[in-house]
Amino acid sequence: MTTTRGIDFAHLSLKDALDLAVLVEEEAQERYDEFTHQMKTHDTPEAASFFAFMSRNEKKHGDELRARRLELFGDAPRSVERAMIFDIEAPDYDQARAFMSARQALTAALASETKAHAFFVAALPAIQDPKVKALFAELRDEEIEHQKLVQAELAKLPPSEDLGDAFADEPVAH
């Protein structure tokens, strides 16, 4: 469930907007790392390797944004922080399941990219600074690209092999 706390979108500076975008990617990367570990611990290797792939993607996006921020603003203090964002691009914890199929893992990631897109769409009207507006529009459009990437991976999968929860074993951590 995407939420923000204490962000004044109307007065967001470009530096704050870039920092926010980095934090969003960091949060998503961390969550995918957690999911990767959860899947490895619970004998779900296919989903684990897909979540690891998503983590690498989020890291790449984060690094690009971080480099831009440092180039433009150097080490000027940051005034936005992680506590201001909740699950913007990070998949919700309840999306993970032991023995989830690759299709379910990809569907969870797609839902997160859709959620992130909705976040930028919703924030845009309040933003006043034209440079921030342009950045948010760029990030919104990138989310569409990310969705396409996941959709392309989904298309490569064989038709649904999900048997539903009724056939699932109880999870056991290793």
Partner 1 sequence: MSNALPVVDKKFEPKDFKSDLKPIWCPGCGDFGVLQSLYRALAAIGRPAHEIAFVSGIGCSSRIPGYTTAYGFNTVHGRALPIAQGIKIANPSLLVLCAGGDGDGFSIGGGHVAHAVRRNIDLTYIVMDNQIYGLTKGQLSPTSPRGLKTVTSSLGSLEDPVNPLLYVLGYGASFVAQGTAADLPGLAAIIEEGIRFPGFAFINVQSPCVTYGEDEWQIKEQRARMKSLESLGHDPKDQLHAMDLARAYGKELYTGVFYRNPAPSPTYDQLVLERQKEKGASAPDPARVLDSLIQR
- Which parts of this chain interact with partner 1 (CB under 8 A)? 1, 3, 5, 19, 22, 34-35, 37-39, 41-42, 44, 63, 66-67, 69-70, 74-83, 86-87, 92-98, 100, 170-171, 173
Residue 85 β-bridge partners: 4
By C-beta, is 12 or 22 nearer to partner 1?
A: 22
- To the nearest whole angstrom, how small is the minimum distance from the Cβ of residue 95 to partner 1? 7
Residue corresponding to tokens 């600074």:
129
By C-beta, is 35 or 136 nearer to partner 1?
A: 35
d(CA 50, CA 79): 34
By C-beta, is 44 or 147 nearer to partner 1?
A: 44
* 3 state DSSP class of 145: helix
Candidates 116, 105, 112, 108; CA nearest to 50 is 105
By C-beta, is 34 or 129 nearer to partner 1?
A: 34
- To the nearest whole angstrom, how small is the minimum distance from the Cβ of residue 36 to partner 1? 10
Note whether 42 and 171 are within 8 A (CB). Answer: yes
